[in-house]
Structure 1
Amino acid sequence: MLTLKGQELVYNTTLMLVKSIDLSSNFLEGEIPEEIGSLILLGTLNLWRNQLTGKFPSEVGNMHGLETLDLSNNRLSGQIPETLASLTFLAHLNLASNNLVGRIPSGNQLQTFTDLSIYMGNLSLCGVPLPRKCPEDDTFTATNAKPSNEDGSDKSWFYVSMVLGFVVGFWGVFGTLLVKKSWRTGISDSIPEESLLKLSSQLENLDLSYNHFRGHIPQSLSSLTFLSHLNLSYNNLVGRIPLGSQLQTLSDSSIYMDNPSLCGVPLPKCLGDDTFTATNAKHSNEDGNDNGALWFYVSMILGFIIGFWGVCGTLLLKKS
C-alpha cells in the first residue's frame, strides 16, 4: 500500500515487476521492510539521504537482478548481511554515513568495490577494502599460528639451516672472488699467435679487453690489414706494440689501457729490454696465478663443507 497525495493505492501483483525505486532525499523514517526482498526484478534501489533506522535487511540478497544500491546517509545499524555477496550483478554500492559495524562480507562481486568512500562514516566497519583489520583477525591468526608453529618446527629449522648454509657456502667462494680481483675473469694466458694466424685477413673488430692475457702482443696481429677496431685494455700485456701499417692507424691509446708494461706507438717509447721485462712479468704472473688457484680451491672446499654441514648437521642433531 502506498499513500500518495492523501490517496491510498494498493499494489498487489504489479509491485514485483518494479525495476527502479528512487526515494532519495526524503524524510523517510523507520526500518527497511523485509518484504523488499520480494522485488526480484528490481535493478535500482536508492534510499539515499533519509532517516531510516534498524538493521540492514538480509532479504536484499534475494534481489538477484539488483545493479545499484544506495543506502547512504541514513542511520542503519548492525552488520552488513552476508547475503549481499550473492548480488552478482551489483555494479554500484554506497553504504556511507550509517552506523554499520563488523566485517565487510567477502565475495567475488564485493571485492571489486575498492573505493573506500562507499563505507565512509561507518567507524566500526572493518575488513577489506578498509585498512582497519577486524579484532578477530588477530585472534584467528594467533590461534591458528600456534599449532602451525608446533607442527612445522622441524620445517622451520630445516629452512633456517638451509639458508644459513647456503649463505656461508656461497660467500665462502664468491666473497673471495670479490676480494681478489685477478680471479674474476677466466682467460689468463698469452694471446695465441697461432689463432691469430688462422683468423681471416678480413677481420675488422677484435676485442680482448678485461681479461688476464700476458706476454707480448704477437707480431701476426699486424697482418690483419682490415682491422679497424681493436681493444686490448685491462690485461697484463708487456713489451713493444707490434709495428704495422694497419696497427699504426689505431692511434687511440685507450685501447691499450691498464697494461702498464706496454710501450711503443701510440704509447710512450720503450726504455728497457723488452725481453727482460716480458720474462719477469711472465714469471710474476704465473706465480700469482698459481697462488690464486690454490686459494680458490681451498675456499671452494671450505665453503662447500660449511654450507653442507650447516644443513645436514642440523638435521642430524635434531633427530625429530
Structure 2
Amino acid sequence: MKSHLPIAMAILGLLAGPVAMTQIACKRKLPATPVTPAAGTTSGAGGYAQTHAQLLAELDMADAQRETVSGILEAFRKDVTQWTMVHNLEMKQLRSVMKRYHGPKTDETDKEIMAAVRKSDRLETERNAKDTQLMADLEEVLSKEQLAKATEILYPVPPTWASGTTNRFHHLAELGLTEEQLAQTKTIMDEAMAASGGMGGTAMQAAWNRIVKEVLTDENRELLQDLIKKAGHQRMVLAMFGHLRLTKDQLAKIDAIWTRAYDSAKAAEAAGGGPDAKFEIYENAQKEIKATVLTDEQRGQLGGGGAGMPGGGYNPHAR
C-alpha cells in the first residue's frame, strides 16, 4: 500500500514560514490564533472590532496617540475585509480540497492536495504581510512597553501545537535518543549548517536523511514517523478551524478531540480498516468540534463548506 506520509509532511512544512535552525530543534513561524473578519463585513466580525476596541480601551495613550492608533486599526480592518472578500471563496475551495487528505486517495488526489496546500500557503503569506505591516505601523507610534501590550492583546499566545513552533527536527528531541545518538545528530547538523552557510536548504534535507538512516534505530524511525504523521494531522485541523479567533480553552478542546480521532484512526488502520473508516472518524471529529467547541458566530463563519480564510498565520511570538 502506498504511504501518504509525504503529504502529511508537506502540509506540515508548507503551512510554515521561515526556518531558524538550532542544534537539534528547528522552529518555524506558523499559524497562531487568527482573527479574520467574515467576508462582506466592515466591523471585523472575526474578532477585529472587539479586539481593537479592547486595545484602545486598555492601552494607556495620549489623545493624539490614541487617534493615530485608531486610524491605523481602522485602515487595517478595511484592508483585510477587502482582501477577504476577494479571496474567501477561493480559500474555501482550497481547504475543501485539503480536507480530502483524510479520505481515499490516488496519485491524482495527492497532486491536487499538494497544489491546494501550496496555493493556500502563498495566499496565507500574502495575508500575513498585512499583520506584519500593522505591527510595523504601530511600532512607529507606540513605545516599547505599549507595543508589547498591544501584541499581547492582538495576538495572544496559543498552545504549542497551534502556534506551530515545531517541525520534524524538533521531534528528534522526543525520541529519547542516547548520548551517542545526540552527538552524532549534532555533528551531522553542524556540518550541514556549515556547508550551507547557515541557510539550511538542500544541505539540511540531506542531513535529515542521514540522521534518519545512520543515527536512528528502527524503533526510533517508527516513533518518528508516527510523530510526524500526527503533527500533519494537527496542522490539518488548524487549517480547517485556524482562521477563527479561538480561545486557549477552545484550542485545548480541539486538540483533545483531534488527538482522540487520530488515535482511533490509527487503531482502525491497524485493525485492517480502509480509508473510508478513517475518513468517517475525522468527519465525526470535525462535527464534534463544530457542535461542542465553536460559538454560533464561529459556526456561521465556517459557512456551508466548513472552511474559511487563512488570515492570522502571522505570529509575533515566533519572531
TM-score (norm 2): 0.18
Which of the two has greater helix per residue? 2
Greater per-residue strand proportion: 1
Which structure has the larger Rg?
1
TM-score if structure 1 supplies the norm length? 0.18
